[in-house]
Amino acid sequence: MPDASLTLDPDFRVADVPRRLFGSFVEHLGRCVYTGIYEPGHEHADADGFRTDVLELTRELGVSVVRYPGGNFVSGYRWEDGVGPRDERPERLDLAWRSRETNAFGLGEFADWAHKAGVEPMMALNLGTRGVQEACDLLEYCNHPGGTYWSDLRVAHGYEKPFDVRLWCLGNELDGPWQIGHKTAAEYGRLAAETARAMRMINRDLELVACGSSHSGMPTFGAWEATVLEECYDHVDYISLHAYYHAQDGDLASFLASAVDMEGFIDSVVATADHVRAKTRSSKRINLSFDEWNVWDQTEWREQGPPDDWPVAPRLIEDTYNVADAVVVGSLLVTLLRHADRVTIACLAQLVNAIAPIRTEPGGAAWRQPSFYPFAHVASLARGRVLRVDVASPTVNTSVYDDVPAVHAVATHDEETGDVTVFAVNRRVDEPLDLSIGHRAFAGYHLLEHIVLADSDVDATNSLEQPDRVTPWTAAGTAPAGNDRTDVRLPPVSWNVIRLRRAEGSR
């Protein structure tokens, strides 16, 4: 008998798959920009200095939207430093990451790169050291067609057509005492409301994201969201969430269950937002932008003082991801899809080098980390509608979350092709698990493909020397269990993509 089972039905709908759920994040942090996406003189650099090998991997990853330029960096950033002739741009101290910013890559370069990568720009505003006027100036530079100071300056810089940025973050993590310009909830909520109101006087159809808590462990979590939204509810469209996960003290079982925390975080923010909606008697519904999430073995960078030297693009937080990390990334993606009715934007932080699925060497190669693959699978195969999946599964005991289901799964149904895809994680550390997929409502469907990311060594990684040490593989086909059921085996600590397709001639 199978260990676990789930049932697929086209009527068990959560929401249409939001394409913005497959976003990423480019911050002026470490080598994300310099020697990451931008390296003039590299053998793969194009005429604009963009690494074409990284552009190709970005497209393969399936990124839909990219948040820029921060992150902590944005709270001290003067966007004017990064426009105009490069030889006239000032170098500045970056207090957030204790580096020196050359400003060789700025707003115009990002707009060009985003166009080549085929991604939607998501612009973050500095509401740490700046405010309403600077936000309006930036919006005018980006979006106004011409005939004003800032729009004409953009044209003079070589960009006749507006950048047409529609998605804006009203600051970053301003609840955090590490943030430049840290504010109380009431201070920030008021500033966000005034900034949003002024920006809509320029463009009415913008989509604006208010800062939620930096993470659910913040002492102000919940109260921050409630206060901020009471100040700006009718002026914004989203509230943000940020979360990072890592294995603690070798506790693999709890690490594999990290999505339990993410699920609770989302549910709590939804409840708070809906409470404020009722309290303010608003007719609109606030959705969630999970615009920073990933696995990150965080160091105590916040406790460090000024550096003896202020380096340019140092190697910062370049985590090397292993198989277990990739499985957790897959499980977090499952969670985002399961909440696609309210989480409609999400950004994996970050894109290149700094806690990223893509790694590069200056003057050298680019390669995929193991975490690259689950993201690419979901971005390319999660089409159509998200289907609610309730799994009957044995449990795994964890020290952090008690007993959790061994299988974490979600499904999507592409009505155009008819294909159904199940994304599933096996959280068991030592044992495989047999999963029975019931699809009576999809009669005549058969197993098209079972893609697996797993390894006997859960610490296995990819590197410059072995870029393909960890790659997905196709499991051996199993005989169908019947016209309305398919059985598959999920290896321990594994990410699985199970694709079902209607047999020709079936109805």
The residues carrying an active-site annotation are: 173, 292
The answer to whether the Cα torsion of 91, 93, 96, 99 is positive or negative is positive
Q: Measure the CA–CA gap between 415 and 104, rounded to whole angstroms.
A: 46
Q: Measure the CA–CA gap between 498 and 30, rounded to whole angstroms.
A: 37
Q: Measure the CA–CA gap between 82 and 141, rounded to whole angstroms.
A: 12
**Contact call for residues 26 and 346 (beta carbons, < 8 A):** no
Query: Strand ranges (DSSP E) for 314-357?
Result: 343-349
Cross-strand partners of 496:
424, 452
List phi, psi (to 5°) of 480: -60, 140
Cross-strand partners of 405:
395
**Contact call for residues 401 and 257 (beta carbons, < 8 A):** yes
Q: Measure the CA–CA gap between 403 and 420, rounded to whole angstroms.
A: 29
Nearest to 173 by CA among 132, 208, 221, 207: 221
Q: What is each CA distance from 497 to 331, 341, 425, 432, in whole angstroms?
A: 12, 22, 9, 15
User: Contacts for 84-93 with beta carbons within 8 Å, 24 or more apart?
Assistant: 84/153, 84/157, 93/310
121 upstream amide cis, omega within 30 of 0: no
Q: Measure the CA–CA gap between 465 and 462, rounded to whole angstroms.
A: 8
Q: Is 336 helix (H, G, I), strand (E, B) or coil?
A: helix
Taking the CB of residue 468, how many other CB atoms lie within 10 A of it? 9
Q: Measure the CA–CA gap between 350 and 23, rounded to whole angstroms.
A: 10
Nearest to 54 by CA among 359, 348, 318, 355: 359
Nearest to 67 by CA among 211, 205, 178, 198: 211
Q: Is 145 helix (H, G, I), strand (E, B) or coil?
A: coil
350 upstream amide cis, omega within 30 of 0: yes
Q: Measure the CA–CA gap between 345 and 207, rounded to whole angstroms.
A: 11
